[in-house]
Amino acid sequence: MQNISETVLEIDLNALGNNYRYLRSKLNPDTKILGVVKAFGYGSSAVAVAKELANLGADYLAVAYASEGIILRDGGVNMPILVLHSLPHNFESIVHRCLEPNIYSKKILLEFIDYAEEHALENYPIHLKFNTGLNRLGFSEEDIPYILEALSKTKSVTVKSALSHLAASEDHAERAFTLQQIDAFKRISKALIAGLGYHPILHTVNTSGILNYPEAHLNMVRTGIGLYGFGNDPVQNKFLQPILTLKTIISQIHEIAAGETIGYNRAYTTPSPVRTATLPIGHADGISRALGNGVGWVTIFGKKAPIIGNVCMDMIMVDVSEISCNEGDEVLIFGNDPTAETLSEAINSIPYELLTALSQRIKRVVCRK
């Protein structure tokens, strides 16, 4: 039954609940869960996902930047929110909106303490990020004495959590390296706690870490992609449900003779007569140009329709020569079959990239299927 009239991204909160409960089943009852809702909730709706996570019992949220946390606050989300990549320029916004900064360097630590003291803050929650091998953001283990000394001189902040980030928790071939990271973080945590005199929350695992390294769950775990339906593993994917379904419609159907060309740069020449459907979605919506020229496809009434020619900014053309369909009919880009992971694999990408590339001009529809 036709139920859409434009390109829409459906966000299934029941699927989100399934994924949350599955991940929760892997944890001890007293282990906290931090839900990652950065990048518009991995391309969905950060506010809708955050509110549902609150209803499901999540303990914390995380965003990449302060601006994302502000969107959540403006949307009525009151949970604790960790800003993973805090910047001095945003300290005022972070404090004003009761966000919690991730502190990852000596410079950021001193600047935030200065800001907190200047504004007469007391025990403002901060989070300390340690680099154990990802080599992206974070203090080194050797920075612990410096951190402790700086903290001992102020009452403006308190350490709410200490964290690190695993580099390859989904790759079983990198198990030895991951265990080294876990051991390093445990060693860092022990030294930090001894110096602080109190026990902050400790967290280092992501979705794959939850599933593959139960010994590293500690006080809290972080999960992003797992909430949205992907476990970075075919076995785990069977227990998770993609929460996003991207659909569009057929705008126009063409009957094209043999020897004609289709689309920009005349990238496709018809070897025989072909029937095409033009769809109102393109690379400005997050459909990579790499999916053009037969690499990617859409699904119409359960049948594959290859993308032919180059992906345009606002449109794609697909071959429907073997599919009985009409203008206005519904088209599936991805959902449960194919999934975003299946489609992204066609261009050697990952579902993270496909989902987070989805344009904000696509209409979001929150539902429960």
- CATH code for position 144: 3.20.20.10
Arithmetic mean of pLDDT, 316-321: 98
| 264 catalytic per annotation | yes
Say if residue 329 is in the same domain as residue 305: yes
258 and 212: one domain? Answer: no
Percent of the chain with pLDDT over 90: 99
- Asked, for residue 140, whether it belongs to a domain, the answer is yes
**Residue 170 pLDDT > 80, yes or no?**
yes
Residue 1 pLDDT class (50, 70, 90 cuts): very low
Report how far Cα 277 is from the mean position of its chain's Cα atoms. Answer: 32
Q: Are 206 and 213 in contact (CB under 8 A)?
A: no
The whole-model pTM stands at 0.96
Backbone angles phi, psi at 176, to 5 degrees: -60, -45
Shared domain check, 190 and 56: yes
Same domain, 210 and 265: no
CATH number of the domain within which 340 lies: 2.40.37.10
Q: Is the pLDDT of residue 31 over 90?
A: yes
| 53 shares its domain with 112 | yes
The overall average pLDDT reported for the chain is: 97
Q: With contact defined as beta carbons under 8 Å apart, do 268 and 308 qualify?
A: yes
Domain for residue 145, yes or no?
yes
Given 22, 32, 38, 247, the catalytic residue: 38
Sorting pLDDT into bands at 50, 70 and 90, what band is 2? Answer: low
Interval 242-264 mean pLDDT: 98
Q: What share of the chain is helix, strand, coil (3-state, %, to 5)?
A: 35, 25, 40
Task: Please count the structural domains in the chain.
Answer: 2
Evaluate whether residue 19 is within a structural domain: no
Q: Let me know whether 296 and 185 are in one domain.
A: no
Q: What domain range is 282 assigned to? A: 244-367
Residue 203 lies in a domain: yes
Say whether 303 is catalytic. no
Is the separation of the CB atoms in 101 and 109 below 8 Å? no
Residues 203 and 325 in one domain: no
Structure tokens at 10: 């459906």
**What mean pLDDT do residues 328-355 have?**
97
The catalytic position among 106, 107, 190, 264 is 264
Q: Are residues 129 and 259 in the same domain?
A: no
Predicted local distance difference test score (pLDDT) of residue 3: 83
**Domain-embedded: residue 11:** no
- Together in a domain, 272 and 193: no
